[in-house]
Structure 1
Amino acid sequence: MRHKILIADGDRQILTILSERLNTKNVQYEIFTAKNGLEAILALQKHRFSVVITEIKMPKVNGMVVLGYMAKNFPELPCIIMTDNSALLAKKRLIKEPLHYIDKPFKIQELAELITKILEEKKNLGAYFMAYPFPVFLNY
């Protein structure tokens, strides 16, 4: 099964570079792109993603709206926020699991490693819940 990744950024060049370079001979993802927050929300409604990568500053609908939509509808969906250095300290205080961040500019390898880490954690968590299912509570 190939993991589906959504990348949302207002810069088409970043979308092209990330979608081309994240796939390697060892790892293949099904990558979807969105040029703005509205396209990202529409993609989230149509597909089941393993990871979302988003910029905060986007046209039409910004990344904060996308994050709010995800928190309400897909609270367990991991998300990587691409940030700039000027907002790093504020973002560190706000970002909690399943949200992650990566500082711009970043190397593709750094992003690829973060995606791999997130997917591995997700896989391990799924295996844990399969081994230790929640008890069924009866309502008397």
Structure 2
Amino acid sequence: MNNANILLVDDEKNIRLTIAQSLDPLGYQVATADNGEDALLQLQAQEYALILLDLKMPGMNGLEVLRRAIEIHPDIKVIIISAHGTIEDAVEAMKLGAVDFLQKPFTPKELRDLVFQVLEIESSSTNESSSYKKEINIAKKWRRKRQFNKAIVHIKQAIGLDPSLPDAFNMLG
């Protein structure tokens, strides 16, 4: 899903620049916003496949932007990025529809791998998954869409494939 439009929302200019430069060679089109209000305006003007969203920003925080972004585009994928996030923040973000949480500082490779993984979830066929990781990713997709019964089906399939791994059990919890 290269060429995907990504909206990067972070109040720190250096972070925006670094992330945009990390994703540019992969062919992603990265737009930036330095605050929540600007991000919401851009979301109304254009569709994005993914939002990389800082949790702590002056004015509107990342959780509020997430709530409003999901209202505008219910299927949008959001990765929360933060140096100040707590476990409670991460849980709240996941409940609101975020697909993942990336703790700062992170390497460009970690970022690229996560972005690629998140954008590939949508293109994965929900009927043709055969590995544990694919089942977990599909379950995350259904959880994000608040289709919890469908998510549980894939979590159970993941457990059947490898009951020794904790991810599926954590998702059930």
**TM-score (norm: length of structure 2):** 0.65
Residues 118 and 19 from structure 1, CA distance in 2 versus in 1: closer, same or farther, beyond 3 angstroms?
A: same
Aligned to 1:60: 59
* 1:86 to partner: Cα distance: 5.3
* 1:70 to partner: Cα distance: 1.5
* 1:63 to partner: Cα distance: 1.4
Aligned to 1:76: 75
Residues 86 and 51 from structure 1, CA distance in 2 versus in 1: closer, same or farther, beyond 3 angstroms?
A: closer
Aligned to 1:9: 10
Query: Which structure's relative contact order is higher, taking Cα pairs within 8 Å and 6+ residues apart?
Result: 1
Aligned to 2:103: 103
Aligned to 2:22: 21
The code of the aligned residue for 1:122 comes to: E
Residues 98 and 9 from structure 1, CA distance in 2 versus in 1: closer, same or farther, beyond 3 angstroms?
A: closer
The 2-side partners of 1:17 and 1:83 are apart by 15
Structure (1/2) with the larger helix percentage: 2
* 1:108 to partner: Cα distance: 1.2
> What is the identity percentage for the equivalent residue pairs of Structure 1 and Structure 2?
26
Aligned to 2:88: 90
Question: Which ranges of structure 2 fall in alignment gaps of 5 or more residues?
Answer: 129-173
Instruction: Tell whether the 8 Å contact from 2:55 to 2:63 is kept in structure 1 after alignment.
Output: yes
After superposition, the CA RMSD in angstroms is: 2.1
* 1:92 to partner: Cα distance: 3.9
Segments of 4+ moved more than 4 angstroms: 125-128
* 1:2 to partner: Cα distance: 1.3
The code of the aligned residue for 1:119 comes to: L
Instruction: Tell whether the 8 Å contact from 2:43 to 2:72 is kept in structure 1 after alignment.
Output: no
* 1:19 to partner: Cα distance: 0.7
Residues 123 and 98 from structure 1, CA distance in 2 versus in 1: closer, same or farther, beyond 3 angstroms?
A: farther
Residues 65 and 45 from structure 1, CA distance in 2 versus in 1: closer, same or farther, beyond 3 angstroms?
A: same
The 2-side partners of 1:78 and 1:125 are apart by 17
Instruction: Tell whether the 8 Å contact from 1:78 to 1:118 is kept in structure 2 after alignment.
Output: yes
The 1-side partners of 2:54 and 2:72 are apart by 19
Aligned to 1:48: 47
Structure (1/2) with the larger strand percentage: 1
**TM-score (norm: length of structure 1):** 0.79
